[in-house]
Structure 1
Amino acid sequence: MRIAVAKETRAGETRVALVPELVGKLTALGYSVVVEPGAGAGALHADEQYVAAGAEVSEQALEGAALVVSVNPLDPGRVRMLPPGTATVSFLPVNQSLDLVADLRDCGVTAFAMELVPRISRAQSMDALSSQSLVSGYRCAIVAAGLLHRFFPLNMTAAGTIPPAQVVVLGAGVAGLQAIATAKRLGAVVKAYDVRAAAAEEIRSMGAQSIDLELETLEGTGGYAREMTEDRAARQRDLLTPYIAAADALITTAAVPGRQAPMLVTAEMVEQMSPGSVVVDLAAESGGNVEGSLPGQVVRIGHAQVWGGANVPAQMPGPASRLYAQNVVNLVTLMTRDGGFAPDFEDEIVLGSCVTHGGVVRHEPTRLALEGGPA
């Protein structure tokens, strides 16, 4: 049974869904692995490395494949070329991809979305959202350090003492905690805030100070925060303003997959930051945590440079691809029986991550959205 590794077609995408070192994991399960030429080039994996690992490299990789793996969903033209019964595994942002979901359904393709893998203990090794957020959080701290024209750490020299940079991180999920940890390792003084009660202890465990605004916490489901009222959001912004004004670097990481990112910081708040300060908005692509940030651009608001994230994991394609590929291999392993791809739809991980199967949209919110009902 053949697994095809698709070459990414999204502009700026450098990741690949399978790295050479993990090819053996799939061939040991009984699969043959076929890779499209150049699929790993962006992550610095040459075709020859895949061949040496036991894969085939072919322009016709998708032909006859039982399963196609990719980072981003296949484009509609390629989906329509797949025979019924073919399966795909990729990220698949269903709320922004309803037409593509309809194509997958109508073509009889079984599509699994990595971002829909349930956030349960048994599925941690398949949690691609977390693995890619880890990369993004690290990258955010490095970007902040690179843009800030001063040291992150304290430096005591014969010529005098240079105090450490003051960094504020908003959002303490996987990305936020990694940003905190990286900024701390670079020597900055870090303060962080998250609306979830459990986050305070996690922030402190990273060596940072947890900001306590003395507001009600907003625990949601799946490890995410629930939405806040506008009154609470306004009060939160007022209380955060002095912390942001005193920061040399602000990093914002608050986002929920498939939804608009919450606007945490107004342009007026950024304007109170001192000359030379830096803002890094990881959520710029999904609406932004910072008013005025633009994905893929550095803009100036007041005295601050504001960097908007755009496909941030792709800026570190080596580790991002390695982590994502392991998530994919673990999910495929779960869905393999007797050397073949045989998903058990009684399994909550398989069922939860399935978007389409057998000509039907299995993901209920997406089905309702396609039908025009409440999602």
Structure 2
Amino acid sequence: GLQAIATAKRLGAVIEASDVRPAVKEQIESLGAKFLDVPFITDEEREIAQGVGGYARQMPADWMRRQAELVHERAKQADIIITTALIPGRKAPVLISEDTVKAMKPGSVILDMAVDQGGNCPLSESGKTVIKHGVHIIGEGNLAALLSADASALYARNVLDFLKLIVNPEGGLAINLEDDIVAATLLCHAGEVLRK
């Protein structure tokens, strides 16, 4: 969640975020996002919100109702909602109800990263992008795993393109000092250090 906030902020987005754990408020605000605060009314809510080992615990039904009302109102204006809420050993809490999806702007996007544990949106489907009530719902629980293959392919392509600049068709080394890329990456040539 925090990484999504940081990335979106760098791209110029206006961000609002919510979390049950009070300690996360400062982290959210330090990244430039507005914290959507759902006040604690009871001592039980305050105690549960502390979490265990850095993870949230299941909040009482009344607090979840208040959070759902706040999220519903804010979701009406959102272009993108990213959900990552998980509770170890339990089904993911529903944060974006079908009624909330119905109230969102057509063309809005929900990225449900908790989909593999039941999802933060009941309309999400694991490994699929679906359109419900005009809203694109991406059900991807392990988004980071998808990036490594793309990053590896991109790196391999860049290495291949670079090798084409310094290897002739016969497979021998052919350094073209006139090529800007080759010249910029060449550290030594003909026994002399060119760059330190």
TM-score, normalised via structure 1 length:
0.37
Aligned residue pairs: how many?
A: 146
Find the aligned partners of 1:319 and 1:293 in 2 and give their Cα distance.
24
Residue 232 (structure 1) shift: 2.2
Residue 229 (structure 1) shift: 2.0
Preserved CA contact (<8 Å) 2:113 2:140: yes
Find the aligned partners of 1:247 and 1:312 in 2 and give their Cα distance.
21
Preserved CA contact (<8 Å) 1:296 1:308: yes
Preserved CA contact (<8 Å) 2:57 2:87: no
Q: Is 2:35 the partner of 1:210? A: yes
Specify whether residues 320 and 237 from structure 1 end up closer, same or farther in structure 2 by C-alpha distance, changes over 3 A only.
farther
Preserved CA contact (<8 Å) 1:313 1:320: no
Aligned to 2:65: 234
| Superposition map of 1:36-185 within 5 A | 176-185=1-10
Q: Is 2:25 the partner of 1:200? A: yes
Indicate which of 116, 135, 143 corresponds to 1:285. 116
Residue 236 (structure 1) shift: 1.5
User: For residue 250 of structure 1, what is the amino acid of its counterpart?
Assistant: I
Q: Is 2:53 the partner of 1:243? A: no
Residue 182 (structure 1) shift: 0.6
Structure showing the higher strand proportion among its residues: 1
User: What stretches of structure 2 of length at least 5 have no aligned partner?
Assistant: 153-196
Find the aligned partners of 1:310 and 1:221 in 2 and give their Cα distance.
22
Give secondary structure in 1 for the equivalent of 2:137: strand
Deviation per CA, 1:98-131: give whole Å up to 9, x if none.
xxxxxxxxxxxxxxxxxxxxxxxxxxxxxxxxxx
Larger Rg: 2
User: For residue 299 of structure 1, what is the amino acid of its counterpart?
Assistant: V
Give secondary structure in 1 for the equivalent of 2:15: strand
User: For residue 298 of structure 1, what is the amino acid of its counterpart?
Assistant: T
Find the aligned partners of 2:120 and 2:102 in 1 and give their Cα distance.
15
Residue 234 (structure 1) shift: 1.8
User: For residue 203 of structure 1, what is the amino acid of its counterpart?
Assistant: I
Find the aligned partners of 1:290 and 1:312 in 2 and give their Cα distance.
17
Give secondary structure in 2 for the equivalent of 1:306: strand
Of the structure 1 ranges 255-264 and 178-187, higher mean CA displacement relative to structure 2 is found in 255-264
User: What stretches of structure 1 of length at least 5 have no aligned partner?
Assistant: 1-175, 322-375
Preserved CA contact (<8 Å) 1:251 1:282: yes
Preserved CA contact (<8 Å) 1:252 1:280: yes
Preserved CA contact (<8 Å) 1:180 1:206: yes
Find the aligned partners of 1:198 and 1:225 in 2 and give their Cα distance.
11
Preserved CA contact (<8 Å) 1:314 1:320: no
Deviation per CA, 1:243-300: give whole Å up to 9, x if none.
1111011110111343211111101111111111111000001100012111111112
Aligned to 2:97: 266
User: For residue 214 of structure 1, what is the amino acid of its counterpart?
Assistant: P
Aligned to 1:313: 144
Query: What is the aligned-residue RMSD (CA, Å)?
Result: 2.0
